[in-house]
């Protein structure tokens, strides 16, 4: 069975802390994504990566960075967490084939920044 694993289900951090959210997929997918999900706003793309060491900004990259050193792992970094980054963070991966854009999602990390 395909699997996207996010390292933490719930996380509580303080303002100004550096936060790492980890995501690992076991499907050998090229593409990996980080979304945040907020009530009334839906899923918004933060960053994505289509290859190792490659990254592209999504719709809301401010305050975030990413790292993809290995194909299976995509990390989201909050350099200095702020309260407005309290959200549900979803990682996803896909095998881009030109005809199938199906995403596989992790279970999400609910981050609270106090």
Partner 1 sequence: EDKVVQSPLSLVVHEGDTVTLNCSYEVTNFRSLLWYKQEKKAPTFLFMLTSSGIEKKSGRLSSILDKKELFSILNITATQTGDSAIYLCASPGAGSYQLTFGKGTKLSVIP
Q: Token pair for residue 71? A: 């194909």
Strands (DSSP E) contained in the chain are 4-6, 10-13, 19-25, 31-38, 42-49, 56-57, 64-70, 73-78, 87-94, 104-105, 109-113
Q: Which of residues 32-51 bind partner 1 (CB under 8 A)?
A: 33, 35, 40-45, 48, 50
Identity of the residue, 33 or 64, whose beta carbon is nearer to partner 1 in the bound complex? 33
Point out which span in 19-27, 67-75, 78-86, 88-96 binds partner 1 (CB under 8 A). 88-96
Identity of the residue, 75 or 81, whose beta carbon is nearer to partner 1 in the bound complex? 75
Identity of the residue, 48 or 78, whose beta carbon is nearer to partner 1 in the bound complex? 48
């Amino acid at each position: 069975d395909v699997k996207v694993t996010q390292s933490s289900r719930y996380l509580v951090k303080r303002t100004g802390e550096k936060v790492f959210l980890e995501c690992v997929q076991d499907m050998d997918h090229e593409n990996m994504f980080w979304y945040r999900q907020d009530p009334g706003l839906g899923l918004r793309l933060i960053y994505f990566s289509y290859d190792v060491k490659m990254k592209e900004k999504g719709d809301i990259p401010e305050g975030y960075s990413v790292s993809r050193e290995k194909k299976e792992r995509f990390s989201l970094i909050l350099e200095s967490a702020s309260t407005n980054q309290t959200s549900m963070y979803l990682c996803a991966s896909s095998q881009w084939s030109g005809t199938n854009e199906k995403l596989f999602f992790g279970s999400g990390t609910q981050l609270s920044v106090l």
